[in-house]
Amino acid sequence: MQLEQRINWLLLFGLVALWGTSFIAINVSLRAFTPDQVVVLRLSIGAAVLLAFMLAKGKRLPLNPVAWLHFMIMGLLGNVLPFWFIAKGQLLVTSGMAGLLMAIMPLMTLILAHFFITGENLNRNKLLGFVLGITGIGLILGPTILGSQNSLIGCLLVLSAAVLYATNTIVARRLPTYSSSVVSTCVTLCAALISLILWPSVLQIDWPQVNQLSLMTTLWLGVFPTGVAAAIFFVLIRRAGPTFLSNINYLIPVVAYFAGALVLGETVVWHDMVALLAILFGIGVSRRPV
C-alpha cells in the first residue's frame, strides 16, 4: 500500500474513532450537564478549534451576508438540532444504541436525494437497501416497544437526528460550494451562536460543582469529535474523495455499539447484532450499481 493510501486510511480510522466514541462522551457529559448545555459547550469549543484551524491555513471569514444565511441553515440542521436530539435521546437510550440507530442516515439520504437532487433517482438496489435498513430499525424498535433498557422515545429522538443529518446533506448539495475549511468553521460558529441564543442556561453553570470527569469529557467532545474531526473530514474528502469517505458509514455504528459495551458496560444483545448487520448490508446493497 502506498504512503498516500496509508495516510488516508489512518485519517479515516481516526475519524471513525472520534465520531464512534463521541456517544460515550455524551453519556458521561450528561451526568453533570443538561442536553442543552452539552450542545452549547461542544459547539462553542469546536468552533474555537475550527477557527484556529482556518486562520492557520490563511483563510478569512466571508463578508457575503447570503453565505452566512446558508451557514446558519446548515448549522441549525446539521449541528444544533441533531446534537440536541442525540443528547436528549441518550438520557433514555444507551450510547451504543444511539450509535447503532445513526446508521440509518445514509439510507435516509438516498430517499431524500431522489426527490431533491437531479440524477439521484431511486433504483431497485437503493430501494432494497432502504428496505433492509428499515427492517434493521424494526428489529431494534420491536424489543424496545416490548420492554428493554432503551426507551422508544429515546430511539425516536436519535432517529430524528439521523433524518436531520440526511436533510442537511441534501441542503448542502443544493447550496453554493465554499472552501471546506471556511464552511466547516462558519457553520460551527453559526451553530454555536444559535445554540447559545436558544439555551442561555449554560451561562449559569456552577462550575465548581461540576463533576470533573463530565467536565473533561465535554471538553474532549468539543475539541476532538466536534472540532478536530470536522477538520479531518474536510482534509480527507479533499485527499480521497467522498466514495472513500463513505466507508465511515459501515464503521461508526460498530465502534459506537461495542465501545459502549466495553467502556460503559452496556448490554450486547443478539437482536441488535442482527439489526446492525441488516442496516450495514442495506447500505452496501444500496451502493451497488444496477
Residue with cell 436519535: 158
Cell numbers of 237, please?
Answer: 474528502
Contacts of residue 288, Cβ cutoff 8 Å, sequence gap at least 6: 125
pLDDT of residue 67 exceeding 90 = yes
Distance in angstroms (rounded) separating the CA atoms of residues 178 and 175: 9
Q: Report residue 1's pLDDT band, with 50, 70 and 90 as the boundaries.
A: low
The span from the CA of 108 to the CA of 1, in Å, is: 34
Q: Is the pTM of this model over 0.85?
A: yes
d(CA 268, CA 266): 7
With a CB cutoff of 8 Å and minimum separation 6, the contacts of 87 are 26, 29, 30, 35, 38, 39
Instruction: Sketch the domain layout of the chain as residue ranges.
Output: 3-286
Mean pLDDT of 222-230: 95
Q: What is the pLDDT of residues 92-144, one digit of tens each?
A: 999 999 999 999 999 999 999 999 988 889 999 999 999 999 999 998 888 77
Give the three-state DSSP class for 268: coil
pLDDT, mean of residues 207-235: 93
Q: Where are the alpha helices (DSSP H) in the chain?
A: 3-20, 22-29, 35-56, 65-75, 81-89, 95-101, 105-116, 124-146, 152-174, 180-198, 212-221, 229-240, 242-245, 248-264, 270-286
Q: Which amino acid is at 269?
A: V
The Cβ of residue 14 has, within 10 Å, a number of other Cβ atoms equal to 15
What pLDDT is attached to residue 290?
A: 75
Residue 191: which residues within 8 A CB-CB, separation 6 or more?
A: 43, 47, 75, 76, 78, 79, 80, 83
Reported as a single tens digit per residue, the pLDDT across 25-52 is: 999 999 999 999 999 999 999 999 999 9
Spatial distance between the Cα atoms of 141 and 159, rounded to a whole number of angstroms: 11
Q: What is the pLDDT of residue 237?
A: 80
Alpha-carbon torsion, ordered 102, 261, 91, 38, to 10 deg: -80
Per-residue model confidence (pLDDT) at position 211: 93
The cell 448539495 sits on which residue? 173
Q: What is the pLDDT of residues 166-187, one digit of tens each?
A: 999 899 888 887 787 888 999 9
- For 92, phi then psi, to 5°, come to -120, -10
Q: What is the pLDDT of residue 148?
A: 66
Q: Which residues, in sequence order, are CB contacts of 286 under 8 Å at separation 6+?
A: 106, 107, 110, 125, 126, 128, 129, 130, 133
